[in-house]
């Protein structure tokens, strides 16, 4: 461990360049390949799963809730608008039927329009889901919204604004606690770079395994938390050595031999704990565990490689 940290400190420019290249390369790969997040919760042994497979054996059904702004939706102008909207839905690929309206509210301004497809949502693909969502959004004078497995495929990934708020809060706590700009900038910068790489890796993993959208927020928040923590382990011991009069390289060597080993042990422990989720046998949880483990591994690696490089005077 000491040898790795010493090498990163000595060749700081190379290490920083490698991390930045890795970040840019992963982001470029995600922009090219995109993401394929799936929020499918599959319980193979459950009776509900068997029932759902039986229901979807001949297709799938989405529910579109339609509301007329003025007047009833099931008579007059409202019904004409509803029929035109149903015709646009029926013209979509793989749609077997759209309508007639099912349940109607007591005020006759809201109705549920069933839309039946010829295949399960998982087999229809993202293109069909996007086309379906586009028609629902363009409902004209009507207000419409859809629910179902196909509609869920068009939901956006969770907003990572909470991670930004958490990062700002962590920076303020570090500034008040340590009263040092270096203790704020270095851990936050290290964690940000590693989490950026982790989010890109999670997006690419979604093409080869079931990864739910919420995994990105979990990976971001967990990565920022442990990333700042791991970086502080090393940085605090390094600053202690410097206060005692040690040269930068010597102080970092002591930090690597003590705090660095703690970082390795902590990172491995977290990943082993996350691996317990794999024993449940749910692809949904497997994706969350993989995303979290990737984030922890990359933040721990950054604390032991990128941080020493940034400490080079």
Reply yes or no on whether the pLDDT at 293 is more than 90: yes
- The yes-or-no verdict on residue 38 having pLDDT over 60 is yes
> Average model confidence (pLDDT) for the chain?
83
Terminal C-alpha separation, the chain:
21
Q: State residue 97's pLDDT score.
A: 85
Does residue 258 register a pLDDT over 80? yes
CA torsion sign for 143, 148, 150, 154 is positive
Can you tell me the distance from the alpha carbon of 251 to that of 264, in angstroms, rounded to the nearest whole number?
19
- Name the DSSP letter for residue 157: P
Lowest mean pLDDT among 44-48, 98-102, 226-230: 44-48
pLDDT the model gives residue 49: 61
Mean pLDDT, range 199-222, rounded to an integer? 88
Report the SS3 class of residue 34.
coil
d(Cα 274, Cα 288) in Å, to the nearest integer?
9
Protein fold of 2-39+156-310? Multidrug efflux transporter AcrB transmembrane fold (1.20.1640)
State which of 27-41, 157-171, 292-306 shows the largest mean pLDDT: 292-306
- Per-residue confidence at 78, pLDDT binned at 50, 70, 90? confident
Class of domain 47-152: alpha beta
| 80-104 average pLDDT score | 86
Q: What is the pLDDT of residue 21?
A: 95
In 159-201, at which residue ranges do the beta strands (DSSP E only) sit?
A: none
Q: What is the pLDDT of residue 290?
A: 93
The pTM score is 0.70
DSSP element (H, E) containing 313: none
For tokens 């940085």, name the residue: 235
Domain boundaries, the chain: 2-39+156-310, 47-152
Q: Among the listed ranges 141-150, 176-185, 236-245, which one has the minimum average pLDDT value?
A: 176-185
- 241-255: b (≥16 Cβ within 10 Å) or e: bbeeebeeeebbbbb
Cα four-point dihedral sign 229, 231, 236, 237: positive
Which three-class secondary structure state does DSSP give residue 100? coil
pLDDT for residue 242? 82
Are 241 and 251 in contact by the 8 Å Cβ rule? The answer is yes
């Amino acid at each position: 461990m000491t040898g790795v940290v010493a090498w990163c400190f000595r060749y700081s420019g190379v290490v920083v360049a490698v991390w930045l290249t890795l970040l840019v390369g992963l982001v470029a790969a995600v922009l090219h390949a995109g993401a394929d997040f799936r929020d499918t919760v599959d319980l193979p042994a459950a009776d509900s799963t068997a029932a759902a497979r039986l229901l979807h054996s001949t297709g799938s059904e989405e529910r579109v809730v339609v509301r007329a702004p003025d007047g009833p939706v099931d008579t007059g102008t409202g019904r004409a608008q509803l029929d035109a909207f149903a015709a646009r839905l029926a013209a979509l690929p793989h749609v077997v039927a759209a309508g007639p309206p099912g349940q109607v509210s007591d005020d006759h301004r809201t109705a549920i329009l069933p839309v039946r497809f010829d295949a399960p949502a998982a087999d229809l693909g993202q293109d069909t889901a996007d086309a379906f969502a586009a028609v629902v959004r363009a409902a004209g004078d009507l207000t419409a919204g859809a629910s179902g497995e196909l509609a869920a495929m068009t939901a956006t990934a969770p907003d990572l604004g909470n991670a930004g708020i958490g990062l700002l809060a962590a920076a303020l706590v570090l500034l008040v606690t340590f009263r040092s700009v270096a203790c704020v900038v270095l851990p936050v910068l290290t964690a940000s770079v590693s989490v950026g790489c982790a989010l890109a890796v999670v997006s690419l993993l979604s093409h080869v395994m079931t990864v739910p959208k919420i995994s990105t927020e979990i990976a971001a928040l967990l990565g920022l938390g442990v990333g700042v923590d791991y970086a502080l382990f090393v940085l605090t011991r390094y600053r202690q050595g410097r206060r005692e009069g040690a040269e930068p390289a010597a102080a970092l060597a002591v930090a690597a031999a003590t705090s660095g080993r703690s970082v390795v042990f902590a990172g491995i422990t977290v990943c082993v704990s996350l691996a317990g989720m794999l024993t449940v046998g749910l692809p949904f949880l497997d994706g969350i565990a993989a995303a979290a483990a990737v984030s922890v591994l990359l933040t721990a690696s950054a604390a032991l490689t990128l941080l020493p490089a940034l400490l080079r005077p």
